[in-house]
Each structure stands twice: as structure tokens, then as C-alpha cells.
Amino acid sequence: MTEPAIYTRWFNTGLPVREGVYQRKYTYEGQTVVRYCYWNGRTFGWAEHSAEDCAEGYNLQHIASPSQDKPWRGLTEYGYKEAVNAQA
């Protein structure tokens, strides 16, 4: 039996259709890291280490990140639940 998908594919262009939590790729000191950001329908908010922090608004999701052009991918409904449960 195949497990349900956790993420969508990565996108380098375009913007999400739905508001919610997304993963984004950042480069820090030459290393690529993945962080979670909240998409409010217009802009991505500041990056956080967990999906839970983004969902609960700890990341100042109403303040636009200065990095709007980073690759992003969505979490499926199953993936979001898994990410939040992993933090518990």
C-alpha cells in the first residue's frame, strides 16, 4: 500500500492558489535549507522552522518576507497534519 503524498512538487514560478502553509527553499551560508512560510493570498510571510508556528501565526504572517521569489511547494492535507503532529 502506498502512503499518501505529503508534498506537492517544487515550483520555481507562479504563486499558490490557496492561503496556507508552504515550504520554501532558502540558501544560508552556501547551504540550502527548507523552511515553512504562510501564504496569505498575496505574499509569503516570514520563514519559520515548523508548520505549526506558521499556522498559529507566530511568524508575523501579516508582514511580507523580503524573499518572495524562493522556490515553494505545498503540503497536502495529509502532509500538513503529519507536520503538525510531528511537532507535538
Q: Is the pLDDT of residue 84 over 60?
A: yes
Instruction: Give the whole-angstrom CA distance, residue 84 versus residue 88.
Output: 7
Q: Do the domain assignments include residue 36?
A: yes
Whether 7 maps to a domain, the answer reads: no
Q: Do 18 and 51 contact (CB within 8 A), yes or no? A: no
Nearby residues of 58 by Cβ (< 8 Å), 6 or more positions away: 48
**Does residue 15 lie in a domain region?**
no
Is 61 a residue whose pLDDT tops 60?
yes
Does any domain span residue 35?
Answer: yes
For residue 39, what are the domain limits?
20-87
Please give the pLDDT value at position 72.
97
The tally of domains found in the chain comes to 1
At 4-37, the pLDDT tens digits run 888 899 999 999 999 888 999 999 899 999 999 9
- CA 4 – CA 30 distance, rounded (Å): 32
Residue 38 belongs to some domain of the structure = yes
**Is pLDDT of 88 > 60?**
no
28 vs 86: which has the higher pLDDT? 28
pLDDT at 74: 92
